[in-house]
Structure 1
Amino acid sequence: MFGFGGFGYGGPGGGRFEASYRCYPVSFLDKPEAERGDKIFLPPSALDRLAQLHIDYPMLFQVENRRDARSTHCGVLEFIADEGMVYMPYWMMENLLLQEGDVVTLRSATLPKGTFVKLQPHSTDFLDISNPRAVLETTLRNFSCLTVGDTIPINYNNKRYFIDIIEAKPGSAISVIETDCNVDFAPPLDYVEPQRQQPVPMAAEAPAAAAGAAAAAEPAPAEPEEPKFLAFAGTGRRLDGKPASESRPIAIPLPGTGRPGASTSGPGSAAGSVGGSEGPGSAAGSAPKRPGKVFGGNRLQAKLAEKQSGGGAGRPPQPPPPPAEKKEEDAEAKFKAFSGKGYSLKG
């Protein structure tokens, strides 16, 4: 089926080719390699018509699905299709929303050479390719033109990637045959922007740091002093009238303060600690002290302290020390060596 509108057969100035065919995938021709490009297979009669119209090379066509108002552009590979049929890559049929046997309209087209194209991969897996630009350049060698809105496949390493054409210059459809075209990539469709953590402002950190430094510099609260009993805090007097030496009172914790090792038996314990004797009122675990001078040699106060502490109870009475004269007599009564008379041999 051919339709001709606005052109003659080989008239001066040429004309425009337009025809309608039923479309089928290239797999019907056993041409799987044709899936890697955008070229179609037309019947031999189309070649005769194109030759008569003096169509410019390379031959480019606009393919339109009038039912769904979808269109794209393509080139031609061979003229070996059956009459009334056109075979095209299956990905092109998907872009045009065509099924096997649907009718499409072909028109000859002249497209400008492209200078810029922007592509958007469907998946971030495409970014894992070591050199995506080289792979794309190799793939586009099988294409003759690109149209904004199309989705083209790229086969690499036994995997298929899909890429959308979102921008082209100088027009919405460009020719990529023998042209130097700059390529740019948009973020993949499934790309997720990583969330950035908000930095903590320095103004908020300064008060916190100052508060921490103030807390560290603040001294620890002092423990309250335990109430103590001062023993022998009065003034001492000697019997012989001489001035007594300065007395130093002893601080003893009061009973019930909970202090470890403190006595709980009252003033008797204080006396026991002063006199050094081990009695009922002495502190638990304290070593007995040898009685000695108390407050500058005041023996009377020492005896009173000993009686109060009970240190004399249970001990046998000490005999009074012997007088000095008796000590001398005992010394004279002792044996003296060589105390006899001496005699001379001369007579």
Structure 2
Amino acid sequence: MFGGYGGYGGGRFEASYRCYPVSFLDKPEAERGDKIFLPPSALDRLAQLHIDYPMLFQVENRRDGRNTHCGVLEFIADEGMVYMPYWMMQNLLLQEGDVVQLRSATLPKGTFVKLQPHSADFLDITNPRAVLETTLRNFSCLTVGDTIPINYNNRRYFIDIIEAKPSDAISVIETDCNVDFAPPLDYVEPARQPPPQPVPMAAEGPAAAAGAAPAADEAAEPEQPKFLAFAGSGRRLDGKAVSESRPIAIPLPGSGRPGGSASGPASAAGSVGSGAGDGGSSAAGSAPKRPGKVFGGNRLQAKLADKASGGAGGARAPPPQPPAEKKVEEEEPKFKAFGGKGYSLKG
């Protein structure tokens, strides 16, 4: 029906009105929600039908086949007219004075809604969920396919409703509804860069590569442990300095490399044998031995010299003089055992 006259069949309100934006009523705050202004006659008819509260309506543009849902704010409009937010008129493709069809509706409480911002700037908001909750307090219902505005920090963001549960039109009054966000319409996912590939080392040829591998293994192989013989410091009973000893490196048994020379008693015996063949010399690498002193050696030399001189019938040769080192040693004071005074137990 036209001009606000509708039917009452089945307890359902239905009427036709000419639509105008809420700015005609000087109600700019109504642009932040989805509520419309109806004439007082609509209130009288709704009271007689005993419809469900809160009052929700389906608004349809039959010319273009577009529809949405809304609530009612006040019944102060002129007869035959309905005032609605301008963004709602844009969703329905309506111009000022176009005819719309209104009918009462009962919508289920929403449990889930998925939103998609038009611009990626919406993601720059510190807490978009809190801003969305504050905005939806002015809404009565949401319909899939609608575009709702959100005003924040002197800016207006537009968001599409792309999914709703349990139906395409839901009520958001006093309900706990889960909200999910889809990527913005102008969002461009950054291109993924492949990870850098390791650069293989350049080889001059197969032979060079084969020869370089054993060399690297030999360089990385740790040094075999060895036993150092005579590595300690020596001391003499008379306190004199001892010449510095040279330690001898002897490989430990079982530490030789595979295919190398054997270590152990067998190898030691072989080295001794070779040394004996060379004139009784010591094993290779051993420290040089100092000439030892023979007890009574000076006396023996004197007797031999005396016998040699007596047998020849000549004059007796003077005894050989000891070397200078021997004289120096005799001049130095020596330790004399039992050189102190004696005492008797009887006194």
Which category describes the TM-score, using the shorter chain as reference length? 0.5 to 0.7
When normalised by structure 2's length, the TM-score is 0.57
Given that 2:8 and 2:14 are in contact with CA atoms closer than 8 Å, whether structure 1 keeps it comes out as no
CA distance in 1, matches of 2:104, 2:38: 13
Given that 2:110 and 2:164 are in contact with CA atoms closer than 8 Å, whether structure 1 keeps it comes out as yes
Question: How far did 1:199 drift?
Answer: 2.5
Question: How far did 1:213 drift?
Answer: 10
Number of corresponding residues: 209
| Alignment of 1:59 onto 2:55 | yes
Match of 2:33 among 17, 37, 49: 37
2:105 corresponds to: 109
Match of 2:192 among 193, 196, 211: 196
- After TM superposition, what 4+ stretches of structure 1 lie above 2 angstroms from structure 2? 2-6, 199-202, 210-214
Q: 2:98 is aligned with what amino acid?
A: D
2:288 corresponds to: none
CA distance in 2, matches of 1:162, 1:102: 24
Distance 1:212 1:101, change over 3 A: farther
1:93 corresponds to: 89
Distance 1:213 1:22, change over 3 A: farther
Question: How far did 1:211 drift?
Answer: 3.3
CA distance in 2, matches of 1:134, 1:101: 37
User: Where in structure 2 are the equivalents of 1:112-131 lying within 5 Å?
Assistant: 112-131=108-127
1:298 corresponds to: none
CA distance in 2, matches of 1:163, 1:212: 64
Match of 2:203 among 175, 186, 211: 211
Structure 1 residue matching 2:201: 3-state secondary structure: helix
2:307 corresponds to: none
CA distance in 1, matches of 2:146, 2:8: 29
1:185 corresponds to: 181
Structure 2 residue matching 1:114: 3-state secondary structure: coil
Structure 1 residue matching 2:193: 3-state secondary structure: coil
1:4 corresponds to: 6
CA distance in 2, matches of 1:213, 1:126: 60
Q: 2:47 is aligned with what amino acid?
A: A
Structure 1 residue matching 2:122: 3-state secondary structure: helix
CA distance in 2, matches of 1:152, 1:43: 25
| Alignment of 1:159 onto 2:151 | no
Question: How far did 1:209 drift?
Answer: 1.8
Query: Which segments of 5 or more consecutive residues in structure 1 lack a partner in the other structure?
Result: 8-13, 219-347
CA distance in 2, matches of 1:213, 1:180: 72
Match of 1:46 among 37, 42, 50: 42
Q: CA offsets per residue over residues 72-102 of structure 1, 9 Å max, x none?
A: 0000000000000000000000000000000
Given that 2:61 and 2:67 are in contact with CA atoms closer than 8 Å, whether structure 1 keeps it comes out as yes
Match of 1:171 among 167, 177, 188: 167
CA distance in 2, matches of 1:90, 1:127: 25
Question: How far did 1:198 drift?
Answer: 1.8
Distance 1:44 1:189, change over 3 A: same
Question: How far did 1:201 drift?
Answer: 4.8
When normalised by structure 1's length, the TM-score is 0.57
CA distance in 2, matches of 1:64, 1:6: 18
| Alignment of 1:133 onto 2:134 | no
CA distance in 1, matches of 2:146, 2:24: 23
